[in-house]
Chains A and B, each alone.
Chain A
Amino acid sequence: MTDASQPILRINALTKRFDDFTALHGVDLNVAEGEFLAIVGPSGSGKTTLIRILVGMDELSDGAVWLRNTRIDVVPANKRPTCMVFQSLALFPHRTVGQNIEFPLKLRKVPPAERKARALELLDTLRLPRDYYDKRIQQCSGGEKQRVALARALAFDPEILFFDEPLSALDYRLRKTLEKELKDLHRRTGKTFIYITHSLEEAMVMSDRIAIMKAGRFEQIAPAEEIYARPVSKFVAEFMGEVNFFDLRNGQAEGLLMTPETAAALAGRSGTLTIRPESLRTLPEGQAADLTFEGEIVAEYLLGSRMQYRMMLATGQEMIVEVLRENGVAGGIGAALRVGCDLSAAHLIEEARDAAA
Chain B
Amino acid sequence: MQRRDARLGLLYSAPLSLFLLLTFLAPILLVAAFSTMPEKVFNLSQAPDFSAYRTVLAQGYWKSVAWSLFMALAATLILLVVCWPLAYGMAKVFKRFTLVLTIGVVMTLFVSENIRLFGWVLTLMKGGLIEGYWRHWTGTGFDAPLYNGPIIVFGLVYVYLPFMLFPLAQGISMVPDDARQAAYDLGATRWQILREIDLPLAMPGIMVGSLLTFVLAAGAMAESKLLGGRAIITIADEVQTAFTYGQNWPLGAALAMVLIAIIGTVAIWAISKADLDKMMGGKS
Contact = CB atoms under 8 A, between A and B. Distances in A.
Contact of B186 (A93, A138, A156): A156
A106 B196 CA distance: 10
A103 B196 contact: yes
A108 interface: yes
A343 B124 CA distance: 94
B279 A107 contact: no
Contacts of B179: 90-93
A205 to B, nearest CB: 26
Contacts of B279: 94
Interface stretch (B21-29, B129-137, B187-195): B187-195
Interface stretch (A80-88, A178-186, A321-329): A80-88
A152 B179 CA distance: 13
Given A93-B281, A94-B201, A138-B281, A86 B186 contact: no
| Highest count of chain B CB atoms <10 Å: which of A56, A88, A92, A153 | A92
A77 interface: yes
A107 B192 contact: yes
B185 A55 contact: yes
A83 B197 contact: no
Interface residues of B, number: 22
Given A90-B178, A92-B179, A94-B281, A107 B187 contact: yes
Contacts of B187: 78-79, 104, 107-108, 156
A93 B201 contact: yes
A336 B185 CA distance: 61
B33 interface: no
Interface of B is mostly: helix
Interface residues of A, number: 26
Interface in B172-218: 176, 178-179, 181-189, 192, 196-197, 200-201
A57 interface: yes
A57 B197 contact: no
B283 interface: yes
A79 B192 CA distance: 14
24 contacts: A56-B185, A57-B185, A77-B184, A77-B185, A83-B186, A84-B185, A86-B182, A88-B176, A90-B176, A90-B178, A90-B179, A90-B181, A91-B179, A93-B176, A93-B179, A94-B200, A94-B201, A94-B281, A103-B196, A106-B196, A107-B186, A138-B281, A138-B283, A156-B187
Given A57-B184, A86-B181, A138-B283, 6 more contacts: A57-B181, A77-B185, A93-B176, A94-B201, A103-B183, A104-B186
* 5 cross-chain pairs, A with B, having the tightest CB-CB distances, nearest first: A90-B182, A90-B178, A93-B281, A104-B186, A94-B200
